[in-house]
A = this chain, B = another copy of it.
Amino acid sequence: MRSVRPHNTRKAGLSPGTLAERESIGTAAFITIMSYNEASLEERNITNLDELKQYKTSDKVSWINIDGTEDSESLSKIGEIFNLHSLLLEDISIAGQRPKVDDFDDQLFATLNMLSYDDKKNCISVEQISIVLGPNYVLSFQEAGGDVFDPNRFRIRTSKGKLRKSPSDYLFYTLIDTIVDNYFLILEKIGEKLEDIEDALIAEPTEDILNELYSIKRELILLRRSIWPLREVLMKFEREEFEQISPTTQTYFKDVYDHTVQIIDTLESFRDLSGGMLDLYMSSISNKMNAIMKVLTVISTIFIPLSFLAGVYGMNFENIPELKNKYGYYIFLASCFVIIVSMLAYFKKKKWL
Asked if A269 is at the interface of the complex by the 8 Å CB criterion, the answer is yes
Q: Indicate if the CB atoms of A178 and B12 lie closer than 8 Å.
A: yes
Asked if A22 is at the interface of the complex by the 8 Å CB criterion, the answer is no
* CB closest chain-B residue, reference A187: B6
Residue in contact with A289 in the complex, picked from B3, B265, B270, B293, CB distance below 8 Å:
B293
Residues of chain A at interface, number, CB under 8 A: 123
Asked if A192 is at the interface of the complex by the 8 Å CB criterion, the answer is yes
Asked if A45 is at the interface of the complex by the 8 Å CB criterion, the answer is no
Asked if A195 is at the interface of the complex by the 8 Å CB criterion, the answer is yes
* CB closest chain-B residue, reference A293: B292
Given A283-B281, A329-B320, CB of A9 within 8 Å of CB of B184: yes
Q: Indicate if the CB atoms of A304 and B301 lie closer than 8 Å.
A: no
Residues in B with CB closer than 8 Å to A265 are 98, 225, 228-229
User: Which of A70-78, A120-128, A202-210 touches B?
Assistant: A202-210
Residue in contact with A311 in the complex, picked from B177, B279, B310, CB distance below 8 Å:
B310
Asked if A239 is at the interface of the complex by the 8 Å CB criterion, the answer is no
Residue in contact with A303 in the complex, picked from B286, B295, B305, CB distance below 8 Å:
B305
* CB closest chain-B residue, reference A352: B292
Q: Indicate if the CB atoms of A258 and B290 lie closer than 8 Å.
A: no
Asked if A341 is at the interface of the complex by the 8 Å CB criterion, the answer is no
Q: Indicate if the CB atoms of B287 and A287 lie closer than 8 Å.
A: no
Asked if A160 is at the interface of the complex by the 8 Å CB criterion, the answer is yes
Q: Indicate if the CB atoms of B269 and A225 lie closer than 8 Å.
A: yes
Other A-B pairs beyond A13-B150, A313-B316, A320-B329, 9, CB < 8 Å: A4-B195, A4-B269, A5-B187, A6-B184, A12-B148, A218-B273, A225-B266, A290-B292, A314-B315
